């Protein structure tokens, strides 16, 4: 039986995967080409590299691995059992690299590329579907990867490179982000239909100082705005429930659990009355944010331009 293990390969001296990949990666396509043709000269011609370069690369690969991959007869070669085992894994790795290259090229295609877009839960019922529908009138084949989350979570995804753009509130102010204000949305004090204030149309927020509030959890932009507005009105809200969805809060208001400061609903909900807050000025700003210095693909550039053109017209009046 042919002994195929050399005395010691350079890779046996390191357990660091990154070092191993650095040593092997440049030679894998050359190895596959030689293995496929079983002829160094023919492989060199097909890959358009000098034959001497290819021969040295294969010898260095075997030296690094400490294993004979080829049995040589002049310029003709055949794979050893170790070479055949190695080739199967190399072909899978190269195919995966090829698929990855195809995917990133497809995502950057101006006509059919992809935009990773995040938005607030309260933007999901009408605003974002309307935006995407309008954008795709001129870009019908652009694809979207959508993430619906609260503001801080989306900014984290933005910084991690998982999103290209996000609609959020408040508009972030951070050195690593670029943010542009697009619109503002009035907030209303939502009370149960049988509440003592339900006959009113307008209210100063200070008049609700003694009420129990239902709010979003800490970390949500709307919760921060609620706390800030109540503080400006001279009180700290007494909180009965902290949730994750504005419409859940509206349902709990209808059930009599408390009152809430919320943006307008997509569809009017029975069981509640929505009061205009006259003081302090109860609004939340909606903006678009992206990572500073992050290169945009053509579809991202087009969608960003589209969103910026919506300044002052993003939300229904």
How far, in Å, CA of 23 to CA of 27, rounded? 8
- Band the pLDDT of 3: cuts 50, 70, 90: very low
How far, in Å, CA of 284 to CA of 312, rounded? 13
Q: Three-class SS string for 52-94?
A: HHHHHHHHHHHHHHCECCEEEECCEEEECHHHHHHHHHHHHHH
pLDDT in tens, 249-300: 999 999 999 999 999 998 899 999 999 999 999 999 999 999 999 999 999 9
Instruction: State residue 286's pLDDT score.
Output: 95
Rounded to the nearest integer, the mean pLDDT of the chain is: 90
Q: If we measure between CA atoms, which residue out of 118, 109, 11 comes closest to residue 67?
A: 11
- The answer to whether the beta carbons of residues 257 and 251 sit under 8 Å apart is no
Per-residue buried b or exposed e for 261-279, using 16+ beta carbons within 10 Å of the residue's own CB: bbbebeeeeeebbbbebee
What average pLDDT does the segment 92-113 reach? 86
How far, in Å, CA of 224 to CA of 167, rounded? 17
pLDDT in tens, 179-199: 999 999 999 999 999 999 999
Rounded to 5 degrees, what are φ and ψ at 160? -80, -5
In three-state secondary structure terms, 45 is helix
* Residue 51 Cα distances to 10, 27, 43, 74, angstroms: 24, 14, 8, 13
User: 16 in the Ramachandran plot: left (φ > 0), alpha (ψ -120 to 50) or beta?
Assistant: beta
Q: Are strands 238-243 and 212-216 parallel, antiparallel or unpaired?
A: parallel
How far, in Å, CA of 254 to CA of 236, rounded? 22
How far, in Å, CA of 232 to CA of 174, rounded? 24
How far, in Å, CA of 226 to CA of 240, rounded? 14
- Residue 221 or residue 23, greater confidence: 221
Which letter does DSSP use for residue 201 in this model?
S
Instruction: State residue 27's pLDDT score.
Output: 81
- Residue 74 or residue 61, greater confidence: 61
How far, in Å, CA of 203 to CA of 90, rounded? 70
Q: Is residue 9 pLDDT above 70, yes or no?
A: no
Q: Three-class SS string for 132-187?
A: HHHHCCCCCCCEEEEEECCHHHHHHHHHCCCCCEEEECCCCCCCCEEEEEEEEEEC
Instruction: State residue 13's pLDDT score.
Output: 52
pTM (2 d.p.): 0.75
Q: Is residue 43 pLDDT above 80, yes or no?
A: yes
How far, in Å, CA of 29 to CA of 94, rounded? 7
* Residue 30 Cα distances to 51, 59, 81, 85, angstroms: 11, 11, 18, 16
- Band the pLDDT of 12: cuts 50, 70, 90: low
Strand partners, 77: 72
- The answer to whether the beta carbons of residues 43 and 54 sit under 8 Å apart is yes
């Amino acid at each position: 039986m042919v002994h195929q293990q050399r005395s010691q390969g350079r890779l046996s001296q390191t357990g660091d995967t990154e070092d191993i990949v650095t040593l092997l990666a440049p030679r894998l396509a050359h190895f596959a080409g030689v293995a496929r043709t079983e002829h160094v000269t023919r492989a060199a011609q097909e890959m358009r590299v000098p034959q001497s370069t290819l021969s040295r690369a294969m010898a260095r690969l075997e030296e690094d691995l400490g294993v004979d991959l080829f049995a040589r007869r002049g310029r003709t070669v055949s794979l050893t059992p170790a070479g055949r085992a190695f080739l199967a894994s190399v072909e899978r790795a190269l195919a995966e690299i090829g698929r990855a290259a195809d995917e990133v090229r497809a995502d950057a295609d101006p006509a059919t590329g992809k935009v990773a877009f995040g938005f607030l839960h309260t933007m999901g019922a009408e605003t974002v579907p309307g935006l995407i529908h309008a954008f795709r009138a001129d870009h019908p084949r652009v694809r979207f990867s959508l993430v619906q989350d609260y503001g801080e979570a989306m900014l984290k995804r933005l910084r991690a490179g998982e999103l290209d753009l996000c609609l959020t509130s408040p508009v972030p102010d951070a050195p690593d982000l670029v943010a542009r204000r697009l619109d503002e949305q009035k907030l209303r004090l939502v009370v149960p239909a049988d509440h003592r204030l339900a006959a009113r149309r307008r209210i100063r927020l200070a008049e609700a100082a003694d009420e129990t509030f239902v709010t979003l959890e800490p970390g949500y932009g709307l919760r921060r705005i609620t706390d800030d507005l109540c503080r400006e009105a001279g009180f700290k809200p007494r909180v009965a429930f902290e949730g994750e969805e504005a419409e859940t809060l509206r349902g709990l208001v209808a059930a009599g659990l408390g009152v809430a400061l919320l943006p307008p609903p997509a569809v009017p909900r029975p069981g509640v009355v929505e009061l205009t807050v006259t003081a302090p000025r109860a609004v939340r700003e909606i903006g678009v944010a992206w990572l500073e210095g992050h290169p945009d693909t053509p579809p991202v550039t087009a969608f960003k331009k589209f969103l910026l053109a919506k300044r002052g017209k993003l939300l229904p009046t």
